[in-house]
């Protein structure tokens, strides 16, 4: 995404610094979406959204992966994470079909050039943003006023507010996390509060969409790995019962290894910026403190010390070569032993800014794949669709190549 485009659509609501803002904000975000009560409370909503999609695919006997992954990412982020659906439907003030269309236009704008020429993705994205915010503001007025009062009562202290939100009887919401961050940064208007929805959806929709798309395609390319996943589901049912509950999803190590292996080979994010706080020497060059660098997830994963033999005489090391060496490259099993486990996995960033939604996304993709693997064998209609896809600025299959057949299993498992 061009940085200038991103900034004009997302505004100046940057919460990753300073520490006094980032720390309390991150604490609330992790309580809302990280493992534990926050994530567990999201599971019924996630299952409901997925059940709806799977029923439609089952009726059709096939899935068009590209658009289905897009819709799934959008529905999960809007229906489950933002609270808009519940509030909008209850009050009957928002047509959710319209809302999601606008959100799709807004998200698409993020990838456009930073030139709001008439008809450009950015111009359309900006118009969609205005339309979205004008509908959200009345919906969020009460919550906004309540939050502002509480904030004032706590003396405008972000850490006191974070403690209040995370120590209450129910887990906080992502929206409260963003409200806290915005207040702490002095962005205190109703419009800022409504903007929290854009931030939640931006963080969660397309990221989840491409994580799902990439995992889906690679898994569909491997009947062997699908069978291993199916066997694991038999064990999960024996231990935790039929329902794909929070506890059950958290106990699917092979499926989790499959997810990581797919993202190792085919990351849905390309990395991020870091500002060097000290000089760094690399390859005989010294980069001075103050330089902005880009960490490139795919490149770092390629140079994993556990997997890379240090040779440079090939274009692509065998452990990355899913095109020419699929069986050798795609091995979820490598994540299951300390000896073979990759050490470089940068899809979700690292360190103090490690993605707050990492565990939730992992849970979501595992839940969907568990549902599918229990009932179907998945077969790509065009087996080499990935070779035909373009990958910049994100993965787009060639027209008509992204069909997935859902072949019913003779002995399906319940969920
Ligand atoms: C496959 C899905 C996802 C990917 C690939 C992804 C990727 C990332 C990456 C690379 C970062 C680090 C940014 C940096 O270093 O500056 C990050 C941070 C973050 N992500 Fe995600 N993300 C995903 C899903 C989500 C979801 C579902 C949520 C919300 C529930 C979320 C919320 C966040 C937040 C709040 C941060 C900032 C963390 C901080 O600075 O403390 N992400 N994400």
pLDDT tens digit sequence for 168-192: 999 999 999 999 999 999 999 999 9
CA of 33 to the centre of ligand 1 (A): 11
Instruction: Kindly state if the Cβ of 69 falls inside 6 Å of ligand 1.
Output: no
Please indicate whether residue 26, judged by its CB atom, sits closer than 6 Å to ligand 1.
yes
Ligand 1 neighbour 208 (Cβ under 6 A): yes
Q: Give the integer Cα–Cα distance in Å for 295 and 317.
A: 19
User: Are 140 and 195 in contact, with CB atoms under 8 Å apart?
Assistant: no
Distance from CA of residue 239 to its chain's centroid? Answer: 29
356 CA from centroid of ligand 1 (Å): 5
**What pLDDT does residue 78 have?**
94
Query: Distance from the CA of 411 to the center of ligand 1, in angstroms?
Result: 38
pLDDT at position 13 is 86
Instruction: Judge whether residue 401 has pLDDT over 90.
Output: yes
Q: Residue 273: is it exposed, middle or buried by C-beta count within 10 angstroms (0-12/13-18/19+)?
A: exposed
Annotated binding site for heme: 355
pLDDT of 283 higher than 90: no
Question: 275: which strand partners?
Answer: 292
Find out whether the beta carbon of 361 lies less than 6 Å from any atom of ligand 1: yes
Contact 406, 61 (CB under 8 A): yes
| Token representation of residue 265 | 């080979």
Neighbours of 366 (CB within 10 A): 21
Residue pLDDT, tens place only, 66-109: 999 999 999 999 999 987 876 666 667 788 999 999 999 999 99
Percent of the chain residues past pLDDT 90, beyond the cut: 92
Question: pLDDT grade, residue 393 (50/70/90)?
Answer: confident
Assess whether the C-beta atom of 94 lies below 6 angstroms from ligand 1.
Answer: no
In sequence order, which residues have a C-beta less than 8 Å from that of residue 313 and are 6 or more positions away? none
365 CA: nearest ligand 1 atom: 1
Decide if pLDDT at 342 tops 90: yes
Q: Could you tell me the end-to-end alpha-carbon distance of the chain, in angstroms, rounded to an integer? A: 38
Residue from 35, 174, 356, 395 whose mutation best tests the ligand 1 pocket (most atoms within 8 A of CB):
356
At 196-239, the pLDDT tens digits run 999 999 999 999 999 999 999 999 999 999 999 999 999 999 99
Q: How far is the CA of 354 from the centre of ligand 1 (A)?
A: 7
**pLDDT average, residue stretch 116-122:** 97
Q: 26 pLDDT exceeds 70? A: yes
Spatial distance between the Cα atoms of 250 and 49, rounded to a whole number of angstroms: 19
pLDDT for position 192 = 95
pLDDT tens digits, 287-308? 999 999 999 999 999 999 999 9
Mean pLDDT of 388-394: 90
Q: What is the mean pLDDT of the chain?
A: 95
Higher pLDDT, 260 or 393: 260
β-pair partners for 407: 377
Residues in the chain: 415
| pLDDT score, position 12 | 87
- CB of 349 shorter than 6 A to ligand 1: yes
Structural domains of the chain, ranges and CATH numbers in brackets: 3-266+360-408 (1.10.630.10), 270-346 (no CATH)
Vertex 297: Cα angle to 295 and 303 (nearest 5): 100
Cα separation, 196 vs 182, in Å, equals 9
| Beta-carbon count within 10 A of 241 CB | 12
Q: Whose CA is nearest to atom 12 of ligand 1?
A: 349
213 close to ligand 1 (CB < 6 Angstrom): no
**CB within 8 A of 363, min separation 6: which ones?**
39, 43, 46, 246, 249, 250
Rounded Cα–Cα distance for residues 291 and 275 (Å): 6
Q: Output the pLDDT for position 84.
A: 82
Q: Is 350 in the pocket of ligand 1 (CB under 6 A)?
A: no
């Amino acid at each position: 995404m061009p940085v200038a485009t991103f900034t004009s659509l997302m505004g100046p609501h940057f919460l990753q610094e300073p520490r006094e803002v980032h720390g309390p904000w991150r604490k609330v975000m992790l309580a809302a979406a990280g493992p534990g009560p926050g994530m567990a409370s999201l599971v019924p909503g996630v299952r409901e959204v997925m059940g709806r999609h799977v029923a439609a695919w089952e009726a059709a006997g096939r899935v068009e992966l590209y658009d289905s992954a897009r819709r799934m990412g959008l529905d999960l982020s809007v229906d489950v994470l933002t609270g808009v659906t519940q509030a909008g439907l209850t009050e009957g003030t928002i047509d959710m079909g319209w809302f999601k269309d606008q959100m799709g236009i807004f998200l698409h704008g993020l990838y456009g050039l930073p030139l709001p020429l008439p008809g450009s993705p950015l111009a359309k994205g900006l118009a969609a943003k205005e339309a979205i915010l004008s509908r959200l503001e009345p919906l969020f007025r009460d919550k906004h006023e309540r939050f502002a009062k509480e904030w004032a009562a706590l003396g405008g202290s972000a850490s006191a507010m974070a403690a209040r939100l995370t120590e209450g009887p129910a887990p906080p919401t992502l929206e409260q996390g963003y409200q806290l961050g915005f207040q702490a940064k002095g962005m205190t208007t109703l419009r800022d509060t409504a903007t929290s929805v854009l931030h939640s959806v931006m963080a969660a929709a397309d990221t989840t969409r491409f994580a799902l798309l990439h995992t889906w395609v690679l898994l569909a390319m491997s009947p062997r790995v699908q069978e291993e996943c199916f066997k694991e589901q038999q064990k999960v049912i024996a231990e935790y019962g039929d329902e794909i509950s929070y506890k059950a999803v958290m106990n699917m190590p092979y499926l989790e290894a499959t997810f990581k292996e797919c993202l190792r080979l085919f990351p849905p994010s390309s990395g991020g910026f870091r500002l060097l706080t000290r000089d760094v020497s690399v390859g005989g060059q010294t980069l001075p403190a103050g330089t902005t660098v880009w960490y490139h997830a795919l490149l770092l994963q390629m140079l994993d010390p556990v997997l890379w033999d240090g040779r440079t005489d090939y274009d692509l090391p065998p452990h990355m070569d899913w095109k020419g060496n699929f069986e050798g490259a795609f091995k979820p099993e490598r994540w299951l032993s300390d000896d073979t486990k990759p050490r470089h996995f940068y899809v979700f960033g690292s360190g103090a800014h490690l993605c707050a939604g990492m565990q939730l996304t992992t849970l979501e993709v595992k839940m969907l794949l568990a549902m599918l693997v229990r009932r179907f064998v998945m077969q790509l209609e065009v087996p080499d669709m990935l070779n035909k896809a373009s990958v910049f600025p994100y993965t787009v299959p060639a027209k008509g190549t992204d069909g997935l057949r859902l072949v019913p299993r003779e002995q399906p498992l319940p969920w």
